[in-house]
Structure 1
């Protein structure tokens, strides 16, 4: 309900009091938000409406005397400024000019034209609905007019509330004719809580006009076309990455379902790359890199050597055509590695051709890379001819690097050359290896650790191996301490850089055309120089190898101390942990399998040395436990490793049976290890096992009463030449001792004394306490039996001291018994009682046949 105010006296506006009675029945819930200025105000009346303006159903009627643009209908409670709130149930007042009621009245008085006439009337152009921005805008008079002083009355100003609309509607849509107002009914409305004073209502500023701005909306953009080439390459990377993520787990578990999933992912990735290469045109460099990636995966994951070589030949031709030297050399590098798996000679020929090409154009970094590759492939073959070829290749690398001033390359080449010398096992191999190590160490102090990388650790490992093979315990202990210091310094290293590689700095100006994209063969240093990458081992692998060599060194120095056993136990603990948990670093299943097999081989060698240590202490029960673990682990290795492991197990079985007194079973094991061809110059692990088996056989059949004693002399002649020239002085000492103890046709006292003297000197040179104890006790038994004198007592006491130092219970018991017999023969029973009691205390630890012989 709307409450109307009474007009003021003297009002001249008749539009507020004279309304047509036709509109009295209209609903008054839709109230205008603006009111006309009161009569007598300083504001002038608005201009008359345009005759062509049509009325639409408006929720907010325009003010009297003016027209407004169409607005959306609003219903409900509306508050008009300066008036009381309107209610829905209020009596219907007279319609206001410009309201919907006025529009309906106009339609009744002026009916619309016929349909045909309406069609002939020009219609306004319709546009597609666009977003609109409503911008309030002042009239130009308000912008130009100066504001009056508050004490002065406001000046009269022309103000147009709404802009006039164009005359594009029919003339019948004009305002309705004037009609006399009907008497108003009393209205009842709720009084307003905050009535607006009349002065404030009169002083309220007029509403500002609104300008409608239409902003054209751009049509929706169509999605760009899919780049199938890039999509396939991305999919290939995703599939290969997913396969590499599960590679270590598959290599450790060896479940068939996991292997099938791995190879399915890898084959899908290869198919994506193959589709890109065959069906899409690319930039030459991108195509060459895609071919290299595809060929690398073929080489690493499949046995398709022919397809790999065909793809690489295509890529090399592409690189030649577009002069991409870095990718061309990288493909040649991969081609040589692929050829080596099927044809060794073809791979060497390919490498030699690339080296000549690089030397012609003075591409020095690639000369180094391919010569190191050639030496590495020759070392994998492990034949004497190939090792000699590797030695010559490394000599060429060291000569070129020394001439050009690449000192880091020189240190790396001489270090690897020392490794080759150790594997050659020539009579002067250890001496040549030590010379190479000395040459590398002469330049070691000229570089920082960052420039040399892990070459220093490799150098210390090879130096320690030289001392172990030459059986120099004191020097080996010193080298072991240097290696342990490097291992301790690497504890807090960066795990992100622990990728199993080490790099060597090339002191040459960088050339991106040569080494821009090499697939990891070269790396970029911080100052821009190139670093040649070489395969190495990870930090944890270096720790395990360090524990192994430390245990071997401690065992060589003093078998009685528990230091060697503690080293071996700690290293065995590391290998167990490594084999129980998959590697965190993603890699191919072939690479993960090779690393897992290396860990198993190292674990097997830890147990092997534990078994040897138990045999050295005559702890046959523990030795048999370790041997069972060796037999259980052997089937997990590849076919090429099993024969050598089987021979070690056979030898240890024979030694344990011999220790228990089962000589016939021991002879059966030793007979299996006899070699047909014995070389006096070649000293390998398998030839050493054959020589040791024959030596143990001679210890059993040396007595003339043994049924096989007739074979003793032939067996002794068979091992004499290789053992007396062996670099291990312990082998020489054992051979001389067997010559003295084995009774042949031409055995004499003088010859026996000479052999025992040579055996003592050789054993003393390497501080082998066990051989020294055997030699001294045998000399006492052979030359001082039934002889009473000071020399006899000294010899017996020396043998007893050496036997205790060696920790061998058998020889301790023998030495105590001989010393007690010496005292008894001299008539000193009191002194004989102590060594005899010690000998009787050791009898339960001896084999049953020996106890019965006592």
Structure 2
């Protein structure tokens, strides 16, 4: 829930409506008379596959169809009986007023070469008398919003399936609407507050839909000066907020410096609601940088928000700030990060019971962060306890209608102060609005209920896979989450219920779902690998590649590491050792030379998988065709400082198993092998890792009780067999039952030995049947 200051994605409206959201059909225009008759709604054109192109970093809507007070502008009425549509350009408005209704004609738009780009420049007439026409401003603003609404109605369909023609139509509609606003600003004399609203709307569309930052900055600079002269504090803050977002695109340092100045000004005038909004935006930019110093700045801003919220009695703001601080610490890999996460969670839980009932999104997020912190610590008992708490809470929230399946917005209430009436209004609703109870509302982007439940299913699958990779419930949770995220734009699908939206933001949201789909498939693949079901693993590897291509997701960062590692273990599991070595020895898995103090969670994931790839390489090199004992010793010496005190106990366990099993020159002493195996056993028991318990017990049985007569040897072989059965891995079950058969044979128990040998052969045949050689 990184704070963006306003809902995203949204319908692009500014005031006089419910909090904007793309995923809710709504009509915000009041039914009133206007110089223009009601236009025909723009028909949604069926779209098919194709490439889509859009501007990146689109975030939040500003401006509205209702630009100012009613005496300045009356929106058009909506009437079903419409006359023959005709297309009108802004230039024609100054030549002659329309004698009848003006409508959108998509065929006319697509054929008009002057509207083919969002870089639209209005070519206005020179008639000075038309500038004073009382209907000119109303007509231009009404036309602009009709064009914007038509484009946003087409956006949801384009985001799922695109064609170049439909993208050009969308661009044409947006360009024409911008031309209308541009004409209103340059050729019509507007009342001061109306002009300020039009400037804010014009700049917001440029920010959301184009890369024309210079024009938007110029418009906002003039608007801020206008607001200062007329004391429009609410619009001034909104413009400063948007200007900071524009600056952050090309010069984050300039944006941060500007925000610091705005925060000091808001604090000096005690405009509390804007202090919250500006500090949340400041903290968001600092946290996103990943720099250690900026992370500290983000935490400082969030703590200042929490302190101010305590003084003002804004419990919901305090909860939101504490949760965001916990997320910042979760992204850090510092030594005290886990303690800081727990401290932030404790601060959040002081108001969870009070606020959770009224804001279900924050209640659900609290439980998600708590379980994520438990996963980070690696304590299975705590993970399972917190998982039950999260599941119970989410089951209660599923029937909470205040959190909709299509709503991506959460409104955080703020107690009003005597100065709120001057700084918060309907025109600032994209950042700060007014709730039904009269309090200010800080608008924050958030997951809708459908996406949030998909994330909880992913968490459930991860926890249960850690407990036991053979647990059927884990795969069931993962498959259910996949079903929630796979949305096809069919007639009955949820996607078709989205009536309005900003195309760049819908596209970003669509791509985010593609990322999460890849992670669902990855964990399903790791579950199949734990069962040695290599056919399924290979199928999932192919699906990850196709999903990344379909959603235009670059395979980079942690996602690339996980996909490559899954590919490598698939080659290793099927016996294609040369192909596995090529993957594990890829430069993407180069071991870090030194541990940096400034390491983000994403960097730590990549480092950890580089360590795992090196451990896999070591075990592959024990094959007689690749064995080099001196190189083994050098690799272990290089891995020791990275693994011996690693915060993840499972990586410590894997390293101790490698130290106990890898052949070196000189060879390890027997007491050293016992020490490593004992440490590995303790580590596997501490994290309740079924796989490591299986491997450790089988290695101990093979190393110390092979061809040994006695009850201790028999108990060791039986324990290894039982643990291999719990792991669900047919290959290890074959190994364990084979050793148990030999143990029985040495003990003189012929019948038991024969039964175990038969079981071992059956498991080996099953394991062999699961093998399919991946393509090189």
Query: Which of the numbers 447, 451, 456 marks the counterpart of 1:546?
Result: 456
576-585 or 600-609: which moved more? 576-585
- 1:214-229 matches, cutoff 5 A: 227-229=135-137
- 1:795 Cα offset (Å): 1.1
Q: Contact 1:575 / 1:603 at 8 angstroms: preserved in 2? A: yes
SS where residue 426 of structure 1 aligns? coil
- 1:115-194 matches, cutoff 5 A: none
**Greater length-normalized contact order (CA 8 Å, ≥ 6 residues apart):** 2
Which residue of structure 1 lines up, in the alignment, with residue 485 of structure 2? 575
SS where residue 787 of structure 1 aligns? coil
- 1:286 Cα offset (Å): 1.1
Q: Contact 1:476 / 1:553 at 8 angstroms: preserved in 2? A: yes
Which residue of structure 1 lines up, in the alignment, with residue 237 of structure 2? 329
- 1:284 Cα offset (Å): 1.1
TM-score by length of 1: 0.70
- Asked if residue 534 in structure 1 is aligned to residue 534 in structure 2, the reply is no
Query: Which of the numbers 341, 344, 369 marks the counterpart of 1:433?
Result: 341
684-693 or 618-627: which moved more? 684-693
Tell me: CA distance 1:519–1:443, structure 2 relative to 1, closer, same or farther (3 Å). closer
SS where residue 486 of structure 2 aligns? helix
Q: Contact 2:151 / 2:173 at 8 angstroms: preserved in 1? A: yes
Which residue of structure 1 lines up, in the alignment, with residue 194 of structure 2? 286
Query: Which of the numbers 566, 591, 594 marks the counterpart of 2:476?
Result: 566
- 1:625-636 matches, cutoff 5 A: 625-636=539-550
Which residue of structure 1 lines up, in the alignment, with residue 508 of structure 2? 594
- 1:238-317 matches, cutoff 5 A: 238-317=146-225
- Asked if residue 464 in structure 1 is aligned to residue 374 in structure 2, the reply is no
Which residue of structure 1 lines up, in the alignment, with residue 289 of structure 2? 381
657-666 or 295-304: which moved more? 657-666
- 1:678 Cα offset (Å): 4.6
Which residue of structure 2 lines up, in the alignment, with residue 234 of structure 1? 142
Distance 2:139 2:769 in 1: 77
> Larger Cα Rg: Structure 1 or Structure 2?
1
Distance 2:435 2:403 in 1: 19
SS where residue 501 of structure 2 aligns? coil
Q: Contact 2:680 / 2:696 at 8 angstroms: preserved in 1? A: yes
Which residue of structure 1 lines up, in the alignment, with residue 20 of structure 2? none
- 1:353 Cα offset (Å): 0.7
- 1:356 Cα offset (Å): 1.0
Distance 1:578 1:521 in 2: 32
Query: Which of the numbers 577, 580, 584 marks the counterpart of 1:666?
Result: 580
- 1:405 Cα offset (Å): 3.0
- Asked if residue 513 in structure 1 is aligned to residue 408 in structure 2, the reply is no
768-777 or 711-720: which moved more? 711-720
SS where residue 443 of structure 2 aligns? strand
Which residue of structure 2 lines up, in the alignment, with residue 48 of structure 1? none
Distance 1:538 1:409 in 2: 20
Tell me: CA distance 1:765–1:786, structure 2 relative to 1, closer, same or farther (3 Å). same
Deviation sequence 1:775-829 (CA, Å, 0-9, x none): 1110111112232122111111111111101111111111111111111112221
590-599 or 357-366: which moved more? 357-366
Query: Which of the numbers 636, 639, 662 marks the counterpart of 1:719?
Result: 639
- 1:793-812 matches, cutoff 5 A: 793-812=714-733
- 1:233 Cα offset (Å): 0.1
- Asked if residue 653 in structure 1 is aligned to residue 567 in structure 2, the reply is yes
Deviation sequence 1:261-290 (CA, Å, 0-9, x none): 000000000000011011111121111111
Query: Which of the numbers 442, 447, 455 marks the counterpart of 2:362?
Result: 455
Tell me: CA distance 1:849–1:318, structure 2 relative to 1, closer, same or farther (3 Å). closer
- Asked if residue 338 in structure 1 is aligned to residue 246 in structure 2, the reply is yes
Query: Which of the numbers 752, 758, 762 marks the counterpart of 1:831?
Result: 752
Report the count of equivalent residues: 627
Distance 1:578 1:399 in 2: 45
508-517 or 559-568: which moved more? 508-517
Q: Contact 2:591 / 2:607 at 8 angstroms: preserved in 1? A: no
Which residue of structure 1 lines up, in the alignment, with residue 106 of structure 2? none
Which residue of structure 2 lines up, in the alignment, with residue 489 of structure 1? 396
Deviation sequence 1:479-528 (CA, Å, 0-9, x none): 23333334333434157795311122223426211111314211212331
Tell me: CA distance 1:818–1:495, structure 2 relative to 1, closer, same or farther (3 Å). closer
Which residue of structure 2 lines up, in the alignment, with residue 685 of structure 1? 605
- 1:689 Cα offset (Å): 1.6
- 1:232 Cα offset (Å): 0.3
- 1:477 Cα offset (Å): 2.6
Distance 1:466 1:574 in 2: 25
Deviation sequence 1:71-127 (CA, Å, 0-9, x none): xxxxxxxxxxxxxxxxxxxxxxxxxxxxxxxxxxxxxxxxxxxxxxxxxxxxxxxxx
Query: Which of the numbers 316, 319, 326 marks the counterpart of 2:227?
Result: 319
- Asked if residue 842 in structure 1 is aligned to residue 763 in structure 2, the reply is yes
- 1:670 Cα offset (Å): 0.7
Distance 2:324 2:338 in 1: 14
294-303 or 370-379: which moved more? 370-379
- 1:387 Cα offset (Å): 2.5
- 1:553 Cα offset (Å): 1.8
- 1:557 Cα offset (Å): 2.2
- 1:760-839 matches, cutoff 5 A: 760-839=681-760
- 1:742 Cα offset (Å): 1.7
Query: Which of the numbers 605, 615, 618 marks the counterpart of 1:698?
Result: 618
Distance 1:585 1:778 in 2: 61
SS where residue 577 of structure 1 aligns? coil
Tell me: CA distance 1:322–1:539, structure 2 relative to 1, closer, same or farther (3 Å). same
Which residue of structure 2 lines up, in the alignment, with residue 479 of structure 1? 386
- 1:719 Cα offset (Å): 2.8
Which residue of structure 1 lines up, in the alignment, with residue 466 of structure 2? 556
Query: Which of the numbers 407, 423, 442 marks the counterpart of 1:499?
Result: 407
Tell me: CA distance 1:226–1:356, structure 2 relative to 1, closer, same or farther (3 Å). closer
Distance 1:719 1:288 in 2: 62
Tell me: CA distance 1:273–1:653, structure 2 relative to 1, closer, same or farther (3 Å). same
TM-score by length of 2: 0.77
Q: Contact 1:273 / 1:294 at 8 angstroms: preserved in 2? A: yes
SS where residue 331 of structure 2 aligns? helix
Distance 1:281 1:641 in 2: 52
- 1:478 Cα offset (Å): 2.8
SS where residue 509 of structure 1 aligns? coil
Distance 1:725 1:429 in 2: 16
Q: Contact 1:501 / 1:537 at 8 angstroms: preserved in 2? A: yes
- Asked if residue 749 in structure 1 is aligned to residue 656 in structure 2, the reply is no
Distance 1:696 1:579 in 2: 43
SS where residue 559 of structure 1 aligns? coil
Distance 1:432 1:578 in 2: 41
- 1:579 Cα offset (Å): 6.5
Return 5+ residue gaps in structure 2 as ranges.
1-131, 772-776
SS where residue 589 of structure 2 aligns? coil
Q: Contact 2:361 / 2:403 at 8 angstroms: preserved in 1? A: no
